[in-house]
Structure 1
Amino acid sequence: MAAEREDRPSHAGRVRLDVPRAPRRSLLPEYDPDAFGRLSEKIARFLGTGRFIVWMTVIVIVWIAWNVLLPAGLRFDEYPFIFLTLALSLQASYAAPLILLAQNRQDDRDRVNLEQDRKQNERSIADTEYLSREVASLRMGLGEVATRDWIRSELQDLLRELQQGDGQHPSDRSG
């Protein structure tokens, strides 16, 4: 009977919950967000260096010198340097989101580190409070323990009493 039910096609409106869906095809390309984030951090790190500034300055100077000093036939971007402006704008339009992505990833790491530090501080405070209570209990316990100096002073007092006494042995005295 159960085999007959499985052989029958399911109704068009019914969805079986015990059968996984077929994976959907997406028109968007798939990528690894973590790998992309690491790449963006590397680019952002490079954009923040003096090396990048020097290379960018050299490229702009060469570009302008090429298009001003060479003969007209070899120039590819005349005076208002529209192509240079377009290239710099394109570079800036990609740099800004990459830098923001790198900052967001750093913020996430900082948030996790802050949470771990907070938990570690809580554990340290709890440990310190525990140790403080233990030291206090030890001090209270030591208050009831006979110390070497106290025993020495008691023995010296007994010795003085014996020396000042009437010469009787302490066991002979019965009060």
Structure 2
Amino acid sequence: MGADEREGRERTRANGASAVRRSVAADRARVRLDLPRTPRRTFVPQYDPEAFGRLSERIARFLGTWRFIAWMTVTIILWVIWNIAAPARLRFDEYPFIFLTLALSLQASYAAPLILLAQNRQSDRDRVTQEQDRKQNERSIADTEYLTREIAALRMGLGEVATRDWIRDELQDLLRDLELRQLIEAESDERDR
């Protein structure tokens, strides 16, 4: 019976350990609860709107730099020089530069919405930041008002507490009273004699 009990206990421990291992593995495989589940596969291609927003912000940041203006200027100058000075058979955009105009128009038509998208994302971030700042300011104001009330209560309490100067004045008054009594007692003792 002792061996059977031991085997039963060992099986129970082994089953418990494997159950613990399974639950640990399930916990590792489990997706975080604060994140939405990823949708199942569909035939429609999936995209991350945040990735597109981040890309548009990077492009908008680059379009707003002097480096972009310098590269654009160099490219246009080289384009024009090539299409004027190169041999006729190597020119790909003759004098009215229609292809250059088309390329610049295409670049502008894509740049404007990307810049607007980046501005919208920035305004959303600013709005969230302002809301957090407003809440922090409200908490700071509440804390300041609380501390002000506490300081006022302490001042009122200090008005009722004996201060060093008040105690000194009271002791001096008592000392004068004692000296006066001693003087009066000394005079009455002299009269009695």
The TM-score bracket by the shorter chain reads 0.7 to 0.9
Is 1:51 aligned to 2:67, yes or no? yes
Query: How is 1:164-175 mapped onto 2 (pairs within 5 angstroms)?
Result: 164-167=180-183, 168=185
Q: Which blocks of at least 5 consecutive residues in structure 2 are unaligned?
A: 1-39, 187-193
- Structure 1: gaps (5+ residues): 1-21, 170-175
Aligned to 2:127: 111
SS in 2 for 1:165: helix
After superposition, give the CA deviation of every residue in 1:80-133 in whole Å (9 maximum; x if it has no partner). 000000111111111111111100100110010010011001111111111111
Q: CA-to-partner distance for each residue in 1:30-72, whole Å, 9 max, x for gaps?
A: 2111111111111100000000000000000000000011111
Letter in 2 for 1:164: L
CA distance in 2 between counterparts of 1:127 and 1:113 reads 21
RMSD: 1.6
For the pair 1:34 / 2:50, whether they are aligned, the reply is yes
Number of matched residues?
Answer: 146
**2:173 maps to which of 145, 157, 160:** 157
**Which AA in structure 1 matches 2:123?**
D
Aligned to 1:79: 95
How many percent of aligned residue pairs carry the same amino acid?
Answer: 77
Match of 2:81 in 1: 65
* Structure 1 residue corresponding to 2:153, chosen from 131, 137, 158: 137
Give the letter aligned to residue 54 of structure 1.
Answer: A
- Give the whole-Å Cα distance in 1 for the aligned partners of 2:57 and 2:155: 56
Query: Shift of the alpha carbon at 1:23?
Result: 6.8
What TM-score, normalized to structure 1?
A: 0.79
Tell me which stretches of 4 or more aligned residues in structure 1 moved more than 2 Å: 22-26, 164-169
